[in-house]
Structure 1
Amino acid sequence: MSAIERAPAPVNKFDRYPAVEWAAQGRPEVGGNVWSSVSIANVTGLTFDRVECKFITDFMLKGKREAEVRLAAFRHDGNANRTIVSASRVLNLHGATERYVGVGLMRWVHGIPFGWDYEENNTTYTIELQHRYRVGPESYDSDAHTTDVFAFYKPTDKAAPSTGGALQIPGTSWDTMVLPQSRPNVSGGWVTIPRIVGDQEQYGSYSISAMQYCVGLPKERIPEASAAGWAWTRNLESSWGRAADITEPHFGV
């Protein structure tokens, strides 16, 4: 008891909301470019109405692969139904002219009313970092990430030629080769394919991490937080876009 009584009072009081990644990191356009959650934090029983989260980005290139992100709150009931409650305004992530690891920090008043559903023990609430493409994705960054292969090719939905024998095409330009009638649906020429070098840069896809943390803090700690949202970025050009709109389509999983 003596040790407990002499224990110092905690200086920092806040709610920790462990965040988990909900989607793979390298992602091209998803589901018609609707809002997709990259991270989810269970905030059931939260104390504060102001939250802060941090995330990182990679391969976000200005004018090629730009993203929109927002924070959104969802209500989950016992029947696996998920309903959006509120959202911040849209933050445009423009990236940079070359590859950098960018850092983003968002502060937001979540809009979940105090006293919600306390008698309902099957209801939970989450705050989620959502994203979608703003510009892009492009197929390849540049010719430096592709390879030209001379090949015979055909549309996938067309039948292959049934006649046998060697391919003999005398007097045909290699750049504009077209096979005779005995080889219908088949042509020949240079085909461009991505260069497989084990590097995400060739695929035209940005990466955005799960929230490194999601915490609830008092007004004294984050006075900038608002219902519209506040943000700070490093190595990552950004600007505010549209106002919050919870009617925009999103994955309902």
Structure 2
Amino acid sequence: MNELAEVKRRLSAIERAPVPVSKFDRYPAVEWAAQGRPQVGGNVWSSVAIANATGLTFDRVEVKFITDFLLTGKREAEVRLAAYRHTGRAERQIVSASSVLNLTGTTDRTIGVVVLRWVHGIPYGWDYADDTTIYTIELQHRYKTGPEEYTPSTRDIFGFHKPTNRAAPGTGGALEMPNNETYETMVLPKTRPGVSGGWVTIPEIVGDSERYGSYSISPMHYCVGLPAERIPEASAKGWAWMRGTNGGWGRDPDITEPDFGV
């Protein structure tokens, strides 16, 4: 009975018919957070998230992710979905890709939400006799504009200061300063030779996004395979819905563009 069930499963996949035991293919979920994305390899396509799609049932997928620090004219992204074939020899071959979606952001910082629907183009029935071949669907990004160059800034603070690696003189610590006789002001007596007063320059504390001038894109919150009746608008070029960021479709699919092959 087990062998008969396995034959039926393989025939179902080859005939491109959904397996009746599931309404959608489940691919791994990941952390819900927008991560900083610097340029990689001279600004080639690099993967933000990878879903193992081996043994898929449906030829349409839906992907959702969030963005942060996309700023119009300063930090703009190009994103796409791509499918890859991985062999047992650790080789990685691109199978297909969506069109390029330009995410141009907004004038102020806004958390954006993006949903992509795509026909992935991975042929059914590939390598069923090969137990080492794996297929992945990857969300990829590259910079359209940016990252901005960061100009370090500093601030001046007035106060008492001393060398960090030197013990504070006196038993009361570095800031123990006696008043004068009329209690009108603070003085620096000779008994505190290691302590000075004046303006101290310190670096301004900023987050990684400001420091590197980069936007953030989360991994895929989900990547799920769905039948045509659930997402009829999915196509080989792709369909997108977005909120909290402006954007639109750019270049057509091109699997010859360089990527960060791993």
Larger radius of gyration: 2
The question of 1:227 aligning with 2:236 is answered yes
AA paired with 1:73?
A: A
Tell me the equivalent position of 1:187.
none
State which of 236, 255, 258 in structure 2 corresponds to 1:246: 255
| Paired residues of 1:59 and 1:101 also in contact (CA < 8 A) | yes
Query: How far did residue 30 of structure 1 move?
Result: 1.5
Query: How far did residue 203 of structure 1 move?
Result: 2.5
Tell me the equivalent position of 1:119.
129
Query: How far did residue 31 of structure 1 move?
Result: 1.0
Structure 1 residue ranges, 4+ long, deviating more than 4 angstroms after superposition: none
Query: How far did residue 121 of structure 1 move?
Result: 0.7
Q: TM-score w.r.t. structure 1 length?
A: 0.73
Tell me the equivalent position of 2:44.
34
Distance 1:237 1:12 in 2: 35
Query: How far did residue 194 of structure 1 move?
Result: 7.3
Tell me the equivalent position of 1:181.
none
Tell me the equivalent position of 2:27.
17
Given the superposition, is the C-alpha separation of residues 135 and 20 from structure 1 closer, same or farther in structure 2, using an over 3 Å criterion?
same
| Paired residues of 1:73 and 1:128 also in contact (CA < 8 A) | yes
Query: How far did residue 201 of structure 1 move?
Result: 2.8
Query: How far did residue 29 of structure 1 move?
Result: 1.8
| Count of residues in correspondence between the two structures | 196
Query: How far did residue 202 of structure 1 move?
Result: 3.7
Tell me the equivalent position of 1:211.
220
The question of 1:130 aligning with 2:140 is answered yes
1:50-78 per-position Cα deviation (integer Å, ceiling 9, x unaligned): 00000000111110000000000000000
Given the superposition, is the C-alpha separation of residues 194 and 56 from structure 1 closer, same or farther in structure 2, using an over 3 Å criterion?
farther
Tell me the equivalent position of 1:147.
154
Query: How far did residue 25 of structure 1 move?
Result: 2.1
Q: What RMSD, in angstroms, separates the aligned Cα atoms of the two structures?
A: 2.3
AA paired with 2:205?
A: I
Query: How far did residue 107 of structure 1 move?
Result: 0.2
Tell me the equivalent position of 2:185.
none
Distance 2:29 2:40 in 1: 21
| Paired residues of 2:79 and 2:139 also in contact (CA < 8 A) | yes
> What is the DSSP-based 3-state SS (H/G/I as helix, E as strand, rest coil) of the residue aligned with 2:251?
coil
Given the superposition, is the C-alpha separation of residues 219 and 239 from structure 1 closer, same or farther in structure 2, using an over 3 Å criterion?
same
Distance 1:128 1:236 in 2: 21
Structure 1's unaligned 5+ residue stretches are 1-9, 150-192
State which of 106, 110, 114 in structure 1 corresponds to 2:116: 106
> What is the DSSP-based 3-state SS (H/G/I as helix, E as strand, rest coil) of the residue aligned with 1:200?
helix
Percent of pairs with identical residues: 74
Query: How far did residue 88 of structure 1 move?
Result: 0.3
Given the superposition, is the C-alpha separation of residues 30 and 148 from structure 1 closer, same or farther in structure 2, using an over 3 Å criterion?
farther
Query: How far did residue 198 of structure 1 move?
Result: 3.7
Query: How far did residue 231 of structure 1 move?
Result: 0.4
> What is the DSSP-based 3-state SS (H/G/I as helix, E as strand, rest coil) of the residue aligned with 2:149?
coil
